[in-house]
Amino acid sequence: MIYERLYNELQALVVDWGFSYLKFEAGEGFMPLVIEKLTEDDEQIVISMTHYFRQNGDLIPDPDMEIRVKVKDKVAEALSFRDQYSYRQVYHGKMVDLQTKRELNWFLQCWLKNIKAQGYQLRVKES
């Protein structure tokens, strides 16, 4: 199931869920990757995963995703996606946008594979 695969890919990247901030870097030409813990409770962790680039001196997130991780269940799912041009979210109150859910989880799976293939390495960890 995709949710277990997403969890496994994220787990391989972050190793330990006891972080507040992680920064990864790859070779020249690749944007830094930042993973931040946004919220945490007994059932889930919500993180943001973002590439940043500089434009006119400002850091611009592109893309930026919010991801829910259920460590006990070993599943993860995309909640939202933002880039320079759009914002999409899966959940709207009690309503679920199933097409957006499929598309964002597919994108997250591809993104995580690219991150692995590009050789991102942890450079900064804050607990």
For residue 60, name the pLDDT band (cuts at 50, 70, 90): confident
Determine, yes or no, domain membership for 125.
Answer: no
Determine, yes or no, domain membership for 90.
Answer: yes
Interval 32-49: pLDDT, tens: 999 999 999 999 999 999
Mean pLDDT, rounded, of the chain: 94
Determine, yes or no, domain membership for 127.
Answer: no
Instruction: Extract the tokens encoding 94.
Output: 């009690």
- Phi and psi for 92 in degrees, rounded to 5? -125, 90
Interval 76-120: pLDDT, tens: 999 999 998 899 999 999 999 999 999 999 999 999 999 999 999
Determine, yes or no, domain membership for 124.
Answer: no
Determine, yes or no, domain membership for 23.
Answer: yes
Query: What domain range is 88 assigned to?
Result: 2-118
Determine, yes or no, domain membership for 103.
Answer: yes
Determine, yes or no, domain membership for 126.
Answer: no
Q: What angle separates helix 98-117 from helix 2-14, to the nearest 10 degrees?
A: 40
Q: What is the pTM of this model?
A: 0.94
Determine, yes or no, domain membership for 40.
Answer: yes
Whether the CB-CB separation of 60 and 54 falls below 8 Å is answered with: yes
In 15-57, the DSSP E strands lie at: 21-25, 33-40, 45-55
Cα distance between residue 9 and residue 116, in whole Å: 9
Q: How many domains does the chain have?
A: 1
Query: Is the N-terminal amide bond of 63 cis, ω within 30° of 0?
Result: yes
